[in-house]
Amino acid sequence: MGSSSELFKVQTLAEAIDSLKPYVLSFYQRAEKIPLAESLGRILTQDIPATCVLPHFRKSTMDGMAVRAADTFGASESMPALIECRGEIRMGEAPSKPLEQGTGLLMPTGGMLPEGADAVVMVERLEHFGETLYGVTKAVAPGENLIDIGEDLVEGEIILSEFTRIRAQEMGLLASLGLAYVPVLPRFHVGILSTGDEIIPPEQEPLPGQSRDINGYTLLGQALASGADARYYGIVKDDLAELRKMLAQMLKENDVVLLSGGSSVGLRDLSAQLIGELGEPGLLFHGLALKPGKPTIGGVVDGKLIFGLPGHPASAMVVFDTLVRPLLDGSLLNPQVDPLPKGTLSQNLYSGSGREEFVRVRLIPKGEGWQVEPVRGKSGLIRTMVLADAIVHIPLDTEGIEAGKEVSFRLLR
């Protein structure tokens, strides 16, 4: 029987995600209710219908006077329409009487219009002639300068769909509906482990041939930024027994386990072997048609997801962003409909590697838009991670993209 790497054909990113999807779906069936104040960045587990109409009263969008629009028809600077003011409505007050013909009520922005009023004249178009008499110097149309009942939301309409990630504006919308508690996905528990005899903790001084652990921290940061509850488990040497013991513990304590390092073929085979032994269904892919990120492995052990990411920090970050992040932040089930921003490529990008490619780029302001400039440098160079503002995707079947072409990019900042 050949080595494990011969048994697995290199998969595309889409194939790898498809193979994981059935196992991820069970995580998306969980739910918990949390206070609205703690909901930023969390993912809704159900469609949210409007529980009431918004606004539930007709409100002014200007400081001015609520009137019957018909009473202002034909008004001009030289021939103002005369309106008798019946007082002033303050914020939070409800007018007690309907508005009669030829009369008006002063009101602030957001104030409630009386019954019968169908427009608001802005302050700048009012002339005070003394006592209660005002002149309107420009006619208003029915519906002008106001928001009508139900114009914002109609009761029962779905305003936020399942698996929407809650931003500040969604928090405000949920508050407007009186939802003080929100049904969200529990956070994914993610465990992160660095492997390799040459890897040492950041506080140690490296000897020749040793490297401080970078991946443990970049992946921890990425997992936290994806909304996960992430924990760094430290470093394990290239030792089968020790690695097996640590992985068993991490699989017990987490939903997703990330191993990084093991760029050496030997250690990668070791990790692949362990994933196969620890539980069902085991290893799902061994190598991806991805640049950077070919040496990525992944599998599922008794319902828990486990990934072996490349040792190069920039590669590990790209693989996390393209393979792991969509599972954690809900975008796998709710691809954001927001279009990606675009910019103009400053130089040719060649691919033709038989792999889909993710190129790190810098964004340089150019006129109204952006110039997109590839960050040159080998995938092992750490500085390239920090210089990159965004990532450009070159699909599998593309030879490359020419300079001057417009490209979409995904922001990394």
Q: Which CATH superfamily is domain 4-30+186-328 in?
A: MoaB/Mog-like domain (3.40.980.10)
Q: How confident is the model over 291-296, as a mean pLDDT? A: 88
Phi, psi of 102 (to 5 degrees): 75, 5
Judge whether residue 264 has pLDDT over 90.
no
What digits encode the pLDDT tens for the residues 214-251?
999 999 999 999 999 999 999 998 888 999 999 999 99
Does domain 59-147 correspond to CATH entry 2.170.190.11? yes
Does domain 32-53+163-184 correspond to CATH entry 3.90.105.10? yes
Predicted local confidence at residue 169, as pLDDT: 97
Same fold, 4-30+186-328 and 59-147: no
With 0-12 / 13-18 / 19 or more C-beta atoms within 10 angstroms meaning exposed / middle / buried, residue 197 is middle
Q: How confident is the model over 273-294, as a mean pLDDT? A: 87
Sketch the domain layout of the chain as residue ranges.
Answer: 4-30+186-328, 32-53+163-184, 59-147, 342-411
In the chain, the percentage of residues whose pLDDT exceeds 90 is 68
Better-scored residue on pLDDT, 370 or 355: 370
- The confidence band for 293, taking pLDDT boundaries of 50, 70 and 90, is confident
CATH fold of 342-411 reads Beta-clip (2.40.340)
- Average pLDDT over all residues of the chain: 90
- The confidence band for 3, taking pLDDT boundaries of 50, 70 and 90, is very low
What digits encode the pLDDT tens for the residues 96-135?
999 999 999 999 999 999 999 999 999 999 999 999 999 9
